[in-house]
Amino acid sequence: MLYLMLNLKKALSANGCDSAEFMFCADKGKRIGEKLIELSKSKQVFSITHLAQVAAFAKTHIKIYKENKNSRTYTKAKMLTKTEHIEEIARMIPGEKITQPALEHAKNLVAASTSNI
């Protein structure tokens, strides 16, 4: 994993994303997604991201969330449907509330990412 992160960092730093802003470089998300897709052709890839541009490339999107029940907190995981995948990407764009422009942008991100596979 460290090897992958170092290679991604090296590839992206050459394109204007330095180490201080590496984790927050959303404009490089598409490039990260493309690198992960390329890697997934020969290896299993598991990615945790808050970048919509990276999440759009997911073949399988699993949402991790917390649920409170009877004064206890449980961590849950849910495999998302295609529609839920797009909605979750839309939620990543502006925040918790899904707006129509964010939903359209999410659909475009997913469509663009699947055309690159």
Digit-coded pLDDT (tens) for 35-82: 888 888 998 888 888 888 899 999 999 999 999 999 999 999 999 999
Q: What are the pLDDT digits (tens) for 76-107?
A: 999 999 999 999 999 988 767 888 999 999 99
User: What pLDDT is stored for residue 58 in this prediction?
Assistant: 93
pLDDT for position 77: 96
- pLDDT tens-place string over residues 8-26: 555 555 444 544 444 455 5
Residues 6+ positions from 71 with CB-CB distance below 8 Å: none
Domains of the chain: 2-115 (3.40.50.300)
